[in-house]
């Protein structure tokens, strides 16, 4: 595949995102999914990650969110207003105690749910329980909510309506909670700023082709982002071995550079506990981060490329169930 040959034009973006005062710049943090998948999602490991983010300087570089992905919940408690129940073995002290620990480290805790009745790993979803879930997230001290799209409708109006329910429920709690909607399609970009603080516009990035496809998508829809809300081309998968997906060192650095210049959220999906020196140097590069976190909210747009087009990433991630 040919390399990128392009020019970047910087332009001012007007604030138009969800008006909750959050995500004035592209959010930065870490997500457990590519690192752990559905295994070993425990309070003990989250504490270790929080410790490491402080020790290795990632927190001080701006990576403030520590986000737990799927597989943390096991059921709903019918005796407690159908509230979500964390895995009692993995989170013996509950989520509130974990949030307190993460906050004491100067970090913010994120959590995962789904707009369908089930999550992608068939754990309880939030459909029909948005108010209950938003309330308990706020009570636990959650700072970031990622809502996925498995087992849910692909009809645009239905999807937008379901995401709006969680948006409104979170706003009604009175707690500032960054809302990340994960719909995997470019058609979320135009209404994204009215629905959340970031919106996924691509399938999962699992390899270099995924990076290339997502970069193309950002060339088309990145301009819908700006202070308060950002188009999201998925996580940074790094080059550290041992995770579900990883790139070569050169590819990982190219991905980070592209994400930084296009105003994408910078959520590390690589290993935090075993991060390579190369990836750590990449993700803490002050010059690249200054481009990403430009106080004016500027983002780059691709105006010239000789790369072959790969088309829009309209398909959901491999193996993801959907309903009509």
DSSP 89-119: TT-TTHHHHHHHHHHHTT-EEEEEEESSSB-
The two tokens of residue 145 are 């909510």
- Alpha-carbon gap, residue 286 to 267, rounded angstroms: 16
Q: CB–CB of 29/267 below 8 Å?
A: yes
Q: Scanning the structure block, which residue is given the tokens 């959520």?
A: 267
Going by C-alpha positions, the residue among 279, 270, 278 that lies closest to residue 234 is 270
Residue 39, CA distances (Å) to 18, 68, 174, 295 in order: 33, 12, 33, 38
Q: Is 189 left (phi over 0), alpha (psi -120 to 50) or beta?
A: alpha
Q: CB–CB of 183/204 below 8 Å?
A: no
Taken as a whole, the chain contains a residue count of 324
- Alpha-carbon gap, residue 164 to 170, rounded angstroms: 10
Residues annotated as catalytic (active site), given as ranges: 148, 204
Spell out where 202-286 has E strands. 230-232, 266-268
Cα 80 off chain centre by: 29
Beta bridge partners of 10: 300
Classified as helix, coil or strand, 293 is: coil
Angle separating helix axes 43-55 and 94-104, nearest 10 degrees: 10
């Amino acid at each position: 595949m040919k390399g990128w040959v392009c020019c970047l034009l910087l332009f001012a973006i007007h604030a138009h995102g969800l008006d909750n005062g959050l995500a004035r710049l592209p959010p930065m943090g870490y997500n457990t999914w590519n690192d752990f998948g559905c295994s070993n999602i425990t309070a003990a490991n989250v504490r270790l990650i929080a410790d490491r983010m402080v020790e290795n300087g990632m927190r001080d570089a701006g990576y403030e969110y520590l986000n737990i992905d799927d597989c943390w919940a096991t059921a709903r408690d019918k005796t407690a207003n159908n509230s979500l129940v964390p895995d009692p073995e993995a989170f013996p002290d509950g989520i509130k105690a974990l949030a307190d620990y993460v906050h004491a480290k100067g970090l913010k805790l994120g959590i995962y749910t789904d707009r369908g009745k089930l999550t992608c790993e068939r754990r309880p979803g939030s459909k029909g329980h948005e108010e209950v879930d938003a309330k308990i997230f706020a009570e636990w001290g959650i700072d970031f909510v990622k809502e996925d799209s498995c087992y849910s409708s692909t009809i645009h109006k239905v999807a937008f309506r379901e995401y709006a329910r969680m948006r409104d429920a979170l706003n009604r709690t009175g707690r500032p909670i960054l809302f990340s909607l994960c719909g995997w399609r470019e058609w979320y970009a135009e209404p994204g700023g009215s629905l959340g603080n970031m919106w996924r516009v691509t399938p999962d990035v699992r390899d270099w082709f995924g990076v290339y496809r997502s970069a193309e998508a950002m060339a088309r829809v990145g301009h819908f982002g700006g202070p308060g809300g950002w188009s999201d081309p998925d996580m940074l998968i790094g080059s550290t071995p041992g995770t579900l997906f990883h790139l070569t060192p050169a590819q990982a650095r190219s991905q980070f550079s592209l994400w930084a210049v296009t105003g994408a959220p910078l959520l590390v999906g690589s290993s935090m506990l075993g991060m390579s020196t190369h990836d750590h140097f990449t993700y803490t590069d002050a010059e690249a981060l200054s481009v990403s976190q430009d106080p004016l909210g500027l983002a780059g747009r691709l105006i010239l490329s000789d790369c072959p087009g790969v088309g829009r990433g309209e398909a959901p991630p491999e193996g993801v169930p959907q309903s009509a």
